Amino acid sequence: MRALNKLLVYLFGLFSLVLFACEQDAAKKPVSLDSIRPHSKTNKSKSDQKKAKDTLGPFLNYYANDSASLQIAKLKIDSLGEYRFLDRFSPNIQRFLLQDSSSASFQVCTWNFKDSSACLEAFYNWLDQAGKNNSSVPLLKGSISSANYNLVIVAEKQILYIGSKRAIDFKKWLLWYSGTTKSPDCRYILYSQPKKRTKWFKFENAQILTL
């Protein structure tokens, strides 16, 4: 009789163990849905990349103006761009990193202003510290201090900056600019080169005039 009781206790314990294991297995099944989360993140990442590409598409077309032969091949937002002096005068700023077919890289920044007075005021303030050791640069004849090549275009309500470690074909960039704006005439154009005097120009009626 005692042996029978032990057998019943053993069978009951075994049955309880199996039942508990089944319940645990059933409880774990919903957790397996987490396995689809990496796919969800991947899809979201692809979606974000496509959205960014679609957003930058018009800008790439804007800079890749074949009539100017700039041959811009790549473009991305310069999210880590350094703070520039002109940033304090305009909240409407665009920064891009461009690369042409020869792998030359360009930093492009544009500052847009509410009117021509605000634009000129920002430009004159910038000149006051753009020389060597942050000295003032005389209008039309001073030289900009820079280790790179820079092209600065001062339009009626916009200032455009193009910088590169390589020499910039400013005539092509001015041809490009004239084809992308309704008012291509520029008040001032500066082309600075390392250890050389800055060149000053004016762009009127599709002609580059030396100042």
Q: Write down the mean pLDDT value for the chain.
A: 76
Predicted pLDDT at 117: 95
Q: 122 pLDDT band (50/70/90 cuts)?
A: very high
- Residue 1 has a pLDDT of 53
Burial group, residue 125, by CB count within 10 angstroms (0-12, 13-18, 19+): middle
Mean pLDDT of 149-164: 95
Q: What is the pLDDT of residue 20?
A: 47
- CA distances 199 to 156, 176, 194, Å, are 20, 19, 12
Q: Are 126 and 161 in contact (CB under 8 A)?
A: no
Q: Is the pLDDT of residue 206 over 80?
A: no
Model confidence at 34, pLDDT cuts 50, 70, 90, reads very low
Contacts of 168 (CB under 8 A, 6+ apart): 106, 149, 150, 151, 162, 191
What does the longest C-alpha to C-alpha distance in the chain come to?
A: 119
Q: Are 122 and 113 in contact (CB under 8 A)?
A: yes
Render pLDDT for 61-73 as a digit per residue (tens, 0 to 9).
666 655 567 888 8
**For position 52, what pLDDT does the model report?**
41
Q: Which residues 6+ apart lie within 8 Å of 122 measured at CB?
A: 86, 89, 90, 111, 113, 159
> Degrees (nearest 5) of the Cα angle 165, 170, 176?
115
Q: What is the pLDDT of residue 73?
A: 84
| % of the chain beyond a pLDDT of 70 | 65
pLDDT at 113: 95
Stronger pLDDT, 13 or 105, i.e. the higher one: 105
Residue 126: pLDDT above 50?
Answer: yes
Q: What pTM, to 2 d.p., does this model score?
A: 0.70
Share of the chain above pLDDT 90, in %: 40
67 contacts: CB under 8 Å, gap ≥ 6: 175, 176, 179
Q: Identify the residue with better confidence: 90 or 33.
A: 90
The per-residue pLDDT for 65 is 56
Instruction: Output the pLDDT for position 30.
Output: 42
Residue 65, CA distances (Å) to 68, 77, 167, 177 in order: 6, 18, 19, 9
CA 120 to the chain's CA centroid = 25
